[in-house]
Amino acid sequence: MPASSLTFEQARHLVETHATALRPAATETVALAGAASRILAEPLLADRDFPPFPRATRDGFALRAADVVHPPTTLRVIGEIKAGIAPAELNFHLASGQAVSIMTGAPLPSGADAVVMVEYTEVEYTEPAADEVKVLRSVAVGENYVPTGAEALRGAVLLHPGARLDAAAIACAASVGKPTLRVFRRPRIAVLSTGDELVDVHSLPGPTQIRNSNLHSLAAQISAAGAEPVLLPIAPDEPARLRELIEQGLQADLLLLTGGVSVGKYDLVEQVLAELQASFLFTSVQIQPGRPAVFGQARGRYFFGLPGNPVSTMVTFELFGRPMVEALCGMAPRKLVFPRARLKSEVRTRTGLTRFLPASLTGEFDDAQVELVHWQGSGDMAAIVRANCYLVVPPDRELLSAGEWVPILLR
């Protein structure tokens, strides 16, 4: 078993490379109304030109730009065009010296080449059928309308398979007339917690036992990423039963183990995986928390051995587990980016590891402020619920000064 320790970036890139090569599971058809946050498995094509007609983008008057080069100019109003107007009513050609009252979302009549906003006009009601409009500003040809097909031509791919169906994608699907959508099935992600000290959430722990919280934090993270968690029973620190449960977990699309990957005498996970002829892609990453994280393959499946400390488990899922889960969901790969916030008070660390320290993001609008939450290390469950992000400390930084814009990982 080659023990290989990678930098954070190396480990992340390695996971991304393996994730990119994954093929997602089968597809299914779902109703548009229930498709939010699923992953699209078919391309969304424009079923017509977008817009399908030259669409006014302002309430105002459609006219010929050449008529209003020297404002103010009075034009004769020959009618009104509402959004959704019957095509027969559009059967006219706007001539020089004429204008037509037009609403946002209505089709520009032939002959017109611009719309002047109603705010820049004065309507003079001369007689019922022959109003006049005084245009107070010039407009450029093409102003305040979108030509037919300028957004997308019929047949153009608006969204590719692999897109997560957020509100914008759902709107796009509705716009092109898709009451149902082909999406990828949710992959099954097995979660196996290891440790003799663990008891199920239903049990009353003995004085030296703790409840199995990682099972549930991972299940929540897996669900949020779009997959289905498969919760396995707690594995004791004993090789035979551990192996049995690992073999069970390797039947899912991906196996996440927690605990038992450090250097302790009863950290048996790597040993048992090695017995199963696992290949290890990394067995340690230069991060804190989460340094002993393991990534590999066995029985044709990928697995992660995530460190057991609750904060380590959460962070390492976010950094390494999530891209694999998303790829199995069929989602197109995306790069991890760290937004920035202003550090409230200085932070000192030792160099060598990329740190993801529980932190609190506050402030408002463009004044994002971040500060560390006080914690007792990566087992501190009470601290992690006070945090809403992680401060990312690069491995070469000993001191981050107050007021500095620093990277954060949002949770």
Give residues in contact with ligand AMP (CB under 6 A). 193, 195, 197-198, 210, 212-215, 258-262, 264, 267, 307-310, 379
Give 35 or 273: the residue with its C-beta nearer to ligand AMP: 273
Q: Nearest Cα to 82, choosing from 106, 59, 98?
A: 106
% helix, strand, coil for the chain, step of 5: 20, 35, 45
260 touches Mg ion (CB under 5 A): yes
Contact criterion met (CB below 8 Å) for 280 and 295? yes
- Count other Cβ atoms within 10 Å, centred on residue 81: 20
Give 172 or 234: the residue with its C-beta nearer to Mg ion: 234
Report what 330 binds from Mg ion, ligand AMP, none; CB cut-off 5-8 Å by kind: none
Q: Which residue has the CB atom at the shortest distance from ligand AMP?
A: 308
Nearest approach in angstroms of CB 231 to Mg ion is 18
The answer to whether the bond into 289 is cis (omega within 30° of 0) is yes
Instruction: Report how far residue 74's alpha carbon sits from residue 215's, in angstroms, rounded to the nearest whole number.
Output: 74
Give 27 or 262: the residue with its C-beta nearer to Mg ion: 262
Q: Is the dihedral of CA 327, 331, 333, 335 positive or negative?
A: negative
Report what 49 binds from Mg ion, ligand AMP, none; CB cut-off 5-8 Å by kind: none
What is the three-class DSSP state of 320? helix
**Pairing of β 347-348 and β 399-400:** antiparallel
Give 5 or 180: the residue with its C-beta nearer to ligand AMP: 5
Within positions 291 to 350, which residues make up the interface with Mg ion, using CB under 5 A? Answer: 308
Instruction: Report how far residue 397's alpha carbon sits from residue 116's, in angstroms, rounded to the nearest whole number.
Output: 57
Nearest approach in angstroms of CB 5 to ligand AMP is 17
Instruction: Report how far residue 256's alpha carbon sits from residue 29's, in angstroms, rounded to the nearest whole number.
Output: 28
Helices and strands in the chain, H and E counts: 8, 30
Please select the residue that binds Mg ion; options are 161, 259, 292, 323, rule is CB under 5 A: 259
109 touches Mg ion (CB under 5 A): no
Nearest approach in angstroms of CB 198 to ligand AMP is 5
Give 149 or 239: the residue with its C-beta nearer to Mg ion: 239
Give 197 or 371: the residue with its C-beta nearer to ligand AMP: 197
Nearest approach in angstroms of CB 170 to ligand AMP is 36
Query: Which residues of this protein are in contact with Mg ion, per CB under 5 A?
Result: 195, 259-260, 308
